[in-house]
């Protein structure tokens, strides 16, 4: 049984974020969130989830792994990332991610460019303020623009950064749907019931899914393990910042995620969980699990 005393899981944790937003059965949650985020700029009626790992062209090229990748009903693709701690070169990584999506389209040879590129967007939910501060508002919308006129040059490639620390509105100050989503993301883990102002059915569904009491024993085990790892990682990162060795620690944290997944898998095998369930909870391959 989970030792966590909160009624709801933390949606900003790796487990919580993917548990709420990361599956076909609950895709209406992702659709509603993206529609609130794009605020009429786009309207999505359906989407499918894609594999979250893209290999390079060969073994020499870096493969990339996203938190979530989905395709909208008009063919547009959305990378959705949850980031709790700042990393050096974060903006470069975001650009690389979108570039990889464009490269993966592999358009057939066409001299006259009659084929239009699919739209690609990166959405990042950040539990920190970006170093490159562009605005005091919690939502940063980035597009390719003419720097002289400010007019959009190409609207099929863009970034949406939600900087949660910049959001400080109280319950009675929420003005629109996006305000409600951000308030929920920041405060769900500390609430003991669904607030009245979250009056849409999709919010009721989120809170039902997020109840700690609804997690299976496997899910509770994985959630507690990942939450402890994230707390330990955060402490190490802050200590590294004070000592000026942040870069090395960041590399260690990435390696630590895989080691944590292996540790969870070993424990689940001891508890006689089947390999398919272990793979689903840890994202390890069946081959890795069988070798443990």
Res. 249: pLDDT tops 70: no
d(CA 70, CA 88): 26
Query: Last residue of some domain: 161, 185, 215?
Result: 215
pLDDT in tens, 256-290: 677 777 888 887 888 788 887 777 777 777 888 88
Q: How many C-beta atoms lie closer than 10 Å to residue 265's C-beta? A: 21
What pairs with residue 144 in β-bridges? 154
Res. 246: pLDDT tops 70: no
| Percent share of the chain, pLDDT over 90 | 49
Lookup: tokens for 111 = 């001299």
In a domain, 70, yes or no: yes
Res. 191: pLDDT tops 60: yes
pLDDT at 143: 93
55 plus 168 within the same structural domain: yes
115 plus 160 within the same structural domain: yes
pLDDT at 111: 65
In a domain, 3, yes or no: no
Res. 33: pLDDT tops 90: yes
In a domain, 5, yes or no: no
d(CA 210, CA 83): 19
Whose tokens are 């303020």? That residue is 129
In a domain, 252, yes or no: yes
Dihedral pair phi/psi, residue 192, rounded to 5°: -115, 0
* Distance from the Cα of residue 56 to its chain's centroid: 22
259 plus 202 within the same structural domain: no
Res. 240: pLDDT tops 80: no
- The angle at the Cα of 126, spanning 254 to 140, to the nearest 5 degrees, equals 135
pLDDT in tens, 130-160: 987 778 999 999 999 999 999 999 889 999 9
pLDDT in tens, 102-112: 988 866 666 66
Residue 274 lies in domain:
216-291
pLDDT in tens, 195-238: 988 988 999 999 999 999 999 988 898 898 888 887 777 666 66
d(CA 176, CA 178): 6
Res. 252: pLDDT tops 60: no
176 plus 61 within the same structural domain: yes
Q: How many C-beta atoms lie closer than 10 Å to residue 61's C-beta? A: 10
pLDDT at 1: 43
pLDDT at 7: 95
For the chain, what percentages of helix, strand and coil (3-state, to nearest 5) are there?
45, 15, 35
Contacts of 151 (CB under 8 A, 6+ apart): 145
Lookup: tokens for 161 = 């950064």
């Amino acid at each position: 049984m989970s030792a966590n005393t909160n009624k709801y899981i933390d949606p900003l944790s790796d487990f919580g974020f993917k548990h709420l937003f990361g599956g076909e059965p609950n895709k209406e949650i992702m659709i509603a969130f993206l529609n609130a985020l794009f605020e009429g700029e786009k309207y999505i009626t359906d989407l499918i989830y894609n594999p979250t790992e893209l290999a390079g062209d060969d073994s020499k090229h870096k493969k990339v792994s996203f938190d979530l990748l989905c395709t909208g009903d008009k063919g547009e693709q959305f990378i959705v990332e949850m980031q709790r701690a700042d990393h050096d070169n974060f903006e470069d990584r975001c650009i690389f991610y979108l570039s990889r999506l464009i490269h993966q389209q592999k358009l057939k040879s066409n001299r006259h460019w009659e084929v239009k590129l699919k739209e690609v967007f990166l959405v990042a939910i950040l539990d920190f303020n970006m170093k490159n501060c562009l605005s005091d508002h919690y939502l940063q919308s980035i597009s390719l623009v003419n720097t002289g006129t400010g007019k959009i040059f190409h609207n099929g490639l863009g970034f949406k950064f939600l900087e949660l620390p910049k959001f400080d509105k109280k319950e009675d100050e929420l003005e629109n749907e996006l305000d409600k989503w951000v308030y929920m993301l920041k405060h769900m883990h500390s609430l003991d019931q669904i607030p009245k102002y979250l009056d849409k059915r999709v919010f009721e569904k989120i809170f039902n899914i997020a109840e700690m009491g609804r997690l299976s024993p496997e899910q509770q085990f994985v959630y507690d393990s990942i939450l402890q790892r994230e707390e330990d990682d955060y402490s190490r990162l802050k200590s590294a910042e004070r000592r000026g060795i942040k870069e090395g620690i960041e590399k260690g944290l990435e390696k630590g995620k895989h080691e944590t997944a292996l540790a969870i898998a070993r424990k689940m095998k001891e508890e006689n969980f089947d390999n398919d369930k272990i793979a689903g909870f840890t994202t390890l391959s069946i081959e890795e699990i069988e070798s443990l």
